[in-house]
Structure 1
């Protein structure tokens, strides 16, 4: 993957343009050396949404067969009113009871993808799920982590199968919202049959 093809440049960055001073500040506050490839990526865009990638999971987790890499944190030296960034790591480690010597690069509350410095100056990339007590290595280096990313195209058929398997949940959500978003014809027929049983009008696909 070309590094320039990692970010969605149509969306704003989470932080300001990266500078040597900001990198030095982050490394001093975090007490680590950040991977050069990460710095290179943040020089292109200081955190934000990616073009959408999938990381195949090597163990069973709440993420399923793969983890969607839709964002990556940047570096911002301001308050917690900002978007998530690497300098929030110390606070979040305490808040969620995570292991020490972690730099959080993305996550959603009880699960995180981190740069793990417990073994030394060269971090591994780890999956940490505090709620389910999971802590394992996703890749031995950040470079290896990036090399494992795949495009989402490979996983879209799997997403469609998951939608079919969970159609009851989809029915209820669309019936409650009374709207249709990119629903295929088979789902449309099923949803409308369910709506008729409840005395509701059919939904027409736009």
Structure 2
């Protein structure tokens, strides 16, 4: 089943994975992913999907569809963020979040069945938990494109292009919002400003933010070198050095690999 959308800029798409990497992730999570999930991850490692909704398990409900537009990939910035999200939003243990934006999440529920987890939908604010499908296979089969109305908050500020609003977010305590903002702005017009924000976030107290900075550089380093002014390349070097000095070995190791790809002189 082909589910991935053909997006030029896809914030949820991670670098290509392999069966070996997926197996390492399963061991790290101490969970076995459904075979169909692993299959779609090998095709593309997370990202936007070509559907906008999934049908609930019960067909008797008036509002039979729930909005969904992406599925997490295998790695940091994907399903390895699940434990953090569970702790941050006080969600049930022994689940694996594979989609969501902070207001709601989709997860594999291993609480009753560690081999064939069901798929659940969670809303932290209302503490609502709905079983969407008996299995991940059923979930994939229930994905659809529906002309349905999904509520949006009309008061939400369009802060995506506002540097001032972004800086307010970066100085705050909403870790998920900081991560989302960094990702939304990773193709900047003002490279100097964005590199400066990455430099600040490279020493953030939360490991999730430092991992996000690392992933952004890993995915975009060559683009930044080509598109940004050469006089700004020293900022990229400083960001990488901060990450190399990180106490988290995974971040430090990845940053050392990123440094090897630098093609410019400071």
Q: Could you say which TM-score interval applies, normalised by the shorter chain? A: 0.5 to 0.7
Aligned to 1:136: 130
Q: List aligned pairs for 1:1-206, cutoff 5 A.
A: 3-4=1-2, 6-11=3-8, 12=10, 14-57=13-56, 65-77=64-76, 84-121=77-114, 122-152=116-146, 155=147, 158-159=148-149
Q: Report the number of matched residues.
A: 149
Q: Deviation per CA, 1:21-78: give whole Å up to 9, x if none.
A: 211121011111100101111111100111123213468xxxx65222211100124x
What are structure 2's unaligned runs of at least 5 residues? 158-266
Post-superposition offset of 1:129: 1.3
Given that residues 57 and 131 in structure 2 are in contact (C-alpha distance below 8 angstroms), is that contact kept between their aligned partners in structure 1?
no
Answer 1 or 2: higher relative contact order, Cα 8 Å, separation at least 6.
Answer: 1
TM-score (norm. length: structure 2): 0.51
Query: Which whole-Å CA distance do the structure 2 matches of 1:108 and 1:92 have between them?
Result: 10
Q: Deviation per CA, 1:101-159: give whole Å up to 9, x if none.
A: 1111111214210001001221100011121011121101000111111223xx2xx44
Structure with higher strand content: 1
What are structure 1's unaligned runs of at least 5 residues? 78-83, 164-168, 174-206
3-state SS, counterpart of residue 119 of structure 2: strand
Given that residues 121 and 131 in structure 2 are in contact (C-alpha distance below 8 angstroms), is that contact kept between their aligned partners in structure 1?
yes
Q: Deviation per CA, 1:66-98: give whole Å up to 9, x if none.
A: 222211100124xxxxxx300001111111100
Structure with higher helix content: 2
RMSD: 2.7
Given that residues 117 and 134 in structure 2 are in contact (C-alpha distance below 8 angstroms), is that contact kept between their aligned partners in structure 1?
yes
Deviation beyond 6 Å, 4+ runs, structure 1: none
